[in-house]
Amino acid sequence: MITADDLIALVRAYNPKTNAERIAAAYEFGREMHEGQFRHSGEPYFSHPVAVAAILTEQRLDDAAIITALLHDTIEDTKASYSEVTKRFGDEVAMLVDGVTKLTNLQLSSHETKQAENFRKLFMAMSKDLRVILVKLADRLHNMRTIKAMRPDKQAQKARETMDIYAPLAGRMGMQWMREELEDLSFRVLNPEGRQSIIRRFITLQKESGDIIHRITSDMRAELAKSGIEAEVFGRAKKPYSIWRKMQEKDQGFSRLSDIYGFRIITDTEEDCYRTLGAIHRRWRAVPGRFKDYISQPKSNGYRSIHTTVSGRDGKRVEVQIRTRQMHDVAETGVAAHWSYRDGVRSENPFAVDPAKWIASLNEQFEGEDDHDEFLEAVKLEMYSDQVFCFTPKGDVVKLPRGATPIDFAYAIHTRIGSAIVGAKVDGLRVPLWTRLKNGQSVDIITAEGQTPQASWLEIATTGKAKTAIRRSLREVDRERFIKLGQELARAAFEHVGRKATDKALDTAAKHLRLDNRDVLLARLGSAEITGHDVVQAVYPELAPDEGDQISPRRAVIGLQAGQSFERAPCCQPLPGERIVGITFRGKGVVVHAIDCDRLGEYEDQPDRWVDLHWHAGTHPPIYSATLDLTIGNDAGVLGRICTLIGEKKANISNLNFVDRKPDFYRLLIDVELRDIEQLHSLMLALEAESDVAALERHRDMAPPRAVAE
């Protein structure tokens, strides 16, 4: 563990005006608060906050960020309070420490819906002060560097969370070095055999061809000297995970992969960048389609550089990045460059992006997305995006993620244009809407009155903005259908108690249920978000059927013909409250599937066999089975506690099957009998809250079915 003096020396190296006394006081306060606490490795716990602070010094951050790193776990894990931190170190530090504490409490790898909501909170924290995220990223980086001390299941959980969330977030903020290290540390945990395989092949390649990096670097320096250009040249082999990802994306083996080496040239001026590009292209053959000019078209996080790929020695492809020193500083620290110091003053880097404007533009992309899962998808799409630059017919530049289509281009210009698109011309030629756009292309969108977004566009679009707008439009269409269905369900529910579903009654129900109006109520009823029982009870609580009046299994499904029988599909095990559809079978009646069941794809070309169904509103008996896939710790009494918890949730265990047994965990499938989908959600939330539950999901058997005659 480095000492307070060592840490202060690291800060003084880039900020001689640092308040050494304040940092020393924070160091001492943090050490005192964490006294007696130890990490999984057996080291004193305070070694972790100190290491996080040291990581932030590499980004030349201000004193407030360094002090926050030293104290980032004090409010949560020690007796220190927010008011005490405020009193000792001021409002700014206290606010930052509190922000990191709240982020730590967000379980970002939990259930998808909860994860999406936590992403919203994460963006809110970023919008208040981006340094909160910088401290959290450094915290995660050190935890990943020391992850071997954790239990294997916890290692896998943290690595997956890092790969899915923190690594792309670091990349989105412009800290590519951190993204690459986080990805590789996660790769080491999630696929150690794959990583070792890449490393072994690198060693073999080096034995066969010698030090390629040194030779190419020397060649580049000689070529630049010949052109009278002063520049630094660095070369490196790409990280194992980066190579693995390229192998997966291109479906190629290691031996066929070419650009596994990267070179960086740092010049004095922007003019020298373009002179360097000319010198490199004169000496080596440029690879078509692999040139990007992020100097003339910077990324939104401030990144500027020229990228080109050339065929080097022996036909080996190498990637070359060319940038100035100031551009390099931003490329290394990304949005964090806004807080960087050099020689005791804030860096006046003209390329550093304003964090407030950056986060505002990021938040704007996700406004209006109501659905949690869709919000999460949009976030991840934007996180992982790399950019291409296309032009409107007037010459305006439109930035899009790699793989974007004319639909994305149209929505990037305006939602109205996107919704009305019927075709597109790329460089003057008519192309299909699913065409992937490339850098520098000119795109002309063709629109038509009366056109509306199609469901198939969701498979074509790649940007969060386009997908959000398409879904919003489709929801409006669905809303009309749900309102009509809701009217029928309301009529049936009110007739059941001898009343009529008048407009006044429905208005009253909407008011009691705190919904905006009658149409919202009917749409919720039609989409099974509320039940007919809920609506009737809101108006006539004395007449609403008692929850004990359970619906007979024979009339649980509405939409069948007279005398037609049904059975639940064993593949997806639909529960009351879920959206369902029926498939007719000769001699078997109707088999009921959940609307999102993969098996339904087998019947797409047989529309005459589909039956529109929905569950009867009301209380169903607890006879509908569902299967849970559960991984629990292998400790005394754990299984008993899990079974007791399931019983407390009024669910009956009908079968229990051990799938995998390891020294430290069990994986098992549990069949439980439930009333409806709400009871399943309640049960899963209770199980997820248990500390001994390592993983939980609803199990659906999607194995190929045996042949069944129609």
Q: Where are the domains of the chain?
A: 4-190, 194-346, 563-710
Tokens of 407: 């639909």
Supply the pLDDT for residue 706. Answer: 43
Q: For the chain, how big is the Rg over CA atoms in Å?
A: 30
77 is catalytic: yes
Supply the pLDDT for residue 257. Answer: 54
Lowest-confidence region among 151-160, 475-484, 501-510, 542-551: 542-551
Indicate if the pLDDT at residue 112 is higher than 50: no
Task: List, in sequence order, the alpha helices (H) in 78-151.
Answer: 82-104, 112-128, 131-145
Q: Are strands 429-431 and 443-447 parallel, antiparallel or unpaired?
A: unpaired
Supply the pLDDT for residue 166. Answer: 84
User: For 696, how many CA atoms within 13 A lie in the half-sphere containing its CB?
Assistant: 22
> Could you say which architecture CATH assigns to the domain 563-710?
2-Layer Sandwich (3.30)
CA-to-CA separations, 105 to 99, 118, 122, 372, in angstroms, rounded: 10, 10, 11, 19
251-289 pLDDT per residue, tens: 555 555 556 788 999 999 999 999 999 999 999 888 877
Tokens of 103: 């982020």
6-52 pLDDT per residue, tens: 999 998 988 888 899 999 999 999 999 999 998 888 889 999 999 99
Backbone angles phi, psi at 689, to 5 degrees: -75, -15
Indicate if the pLDDT at residue 82 is higher than 60: yes
pLDDT-derived band at 125 (thresholds 50, 70, 90) equals: low
Indicate if the pLDDT at residue 347 is higher than 70: no
Average pLDDT, the chain: 81
What DSSP line would sit under 92-109, residue for residue? HHHHHHHHHHHHHT--TT
Give me the sign of the Cα torsion angle 540, 542, 545, 547.
positive
CA neighbor of 627 nearest in space, from 664, 556, 708, 573 = 573
- Higher pLDDT, residue 178 or 260: 178
Supply the pLDDT for residue 68. Answer: 92
Place of tokens 């539950």: 693
CA neighbor of 528 nearest in space, from 591, 594, 573, 438 = 594
Catalytic hit among 76, 507, 671, 673 = 76
The mean per-residue pLDDT over the stretch 479-483 comes to 80
Supply the pLDDT for residue 708. Answer: 41
Lowest-confidence region among 253-262, 409-418, 625-634: 253-262
C-alpha to C-alpha distance for 388 and 292, rounded to whole angstroms: 9
What DSSP line would sit under 39-65, residue for residue? -TTSSBTTHHHHHHHHHHHTTT--HHH
The mean per-residue pLDDT over the stretch 668-675 comes to 91
- Higher pLDDT, residue 295 or 124: 295
pLDDT-derived band at 362 (thresholds 50, 70, 90) equals: low
Kindly state which CATH superfamily the domain 194-346 is placed in.
Answer: Beta Polymerase, domain 2 (3.30.460.10)
- Cβ density class 294-320: b for 16+ within 10 Å, e for less: bbeebbebbbbbbebbbebeeeebbbb
Same fold, 194-346 and 563-710: no
309-338 pLDDT per residue, tens: 888 656 677 889 999 988 888 887 776 666
Indicate if the pLDDT at residue 359 is higher than 70: no
Q: Is 470 exposed, middle or buried (0-12, 13-18, 19+ CB in 10 A)?
A: buried
4-190 in CATH: which number? 1.10.3210.10
pLDDT-derived band at 356 (thresholds 50, 70, 90) equals: low
Neighbouring C-beta atoms of residue 386, cutoff 10 Å:
11
Catalytic hit among 6, 32, 62, 77 = 77
pTM for the model: 0.53
